[in-house]
Structure 1
Amino acid sequence: MAPESNNHEFPYSLTISLPLPTNRLASSALRTLEVDSELSPFVRRTLSLESPTSEAPSEPKEKKQKQDHDESKSVLKTTYYATTNRMLRVAVNGFMESLGVILGVMAELDVDVLKAEMEG
């Protein structure tokens, strides 16, 4: 939560990268979170999906190359910008609460998550 020197209006920022098992789950989380915009004019948030920075070494190279670019995006990246440390903390706390609910619903109801638990 250190100040960024390049943005004087919103000098405080925090980036959270959340890896999820599949692109479908990451996309669902993104769409769910996008619905609620930040209420405070002192806070800005960006949401995006990204590919994991390191590939799983156990996957064959051919499978990695064939994988669709969008399908590889399974990391939900959220960046918050705020005018003060306090505003940043309050916004991120609310985000974490929402994220907890979303992940809880996925764990309870999502077919892929249940399938992975049964196989693992």
Structure 2
Amino acid sequence: MAAANSSTTEFPCSLTISLPLPNHRLASSALRALEVDTELSPFVRRDFALKSPSTEDQAMGDEGKTVLETTYKATTNRMLRVAVNGFMESLGVVLGVMEELDVDVLREESEE
């Protein structure tokens, strides 16, 4: 309990972003692409997790984990804003690449 309180006092500003994706493969691909870039500032902490959107999906195991959850903690609101802005830019690139180049997307377009 002391570690949680220490983290809260050192990094009092936090934000959790939950991004639902169509399937587990895309969610884990986004996770792997985004976690490569570490936070440059020692005043910001970021954690990623793949979650299930509902309790029914939890029974599917890893395949049910289609929500990319990103939690930011920072020392100030300004540091949090700057870090999240950078993350959103990277996220936009990752999602754009998925939309343009993902194999399943190409397969769906060729079937139309």
TM-score range, shorter chain: 0.7 to 0.9
Q: CA RMSD in A?
A: 2.2
Cross-structure match for 2:25 = 24
Equivalent of 2:100 in 85, 108, 111: 108
TM-score (norm 2): 0.85
Distance 1:75 1:119 in 2: 27
Distance 1:35 1:50 in 2: 19
Cross-structure match for 2:76 = 84
TM-score (norm 1): 0.79
Cross-structure match for 2:13 = 12
List 4+ stretches of structure 1 deviating above 2 A. Answer: 113-120
Among all aligned residue pairs of Structure 1 and Structure 2, give the percentage whose two residues are the same amino acid.
75
Q: 1:114 Cα shift?
A: 3.7
Distance 1:13 1:27 in 2: 23
Cross-structure match for 1:40 = 41
How many residues align? The count is 106
Letter in 1 for 2:83: A
Change over 3 Å in CA distance of 1:72–1:33 after alignment to 2: same
Structure 1: tracts of 5 or more residues without a match: 1-5, 56-63
Instruction: Please give the secondary structure, in 2, of the residue aligned with 1:95.
Output: helix
Distance 1:87 1:27 in 2: 27
Structure 2: tracts of 5 or more residues without a match: none
Letter in 2 for 1:75: V
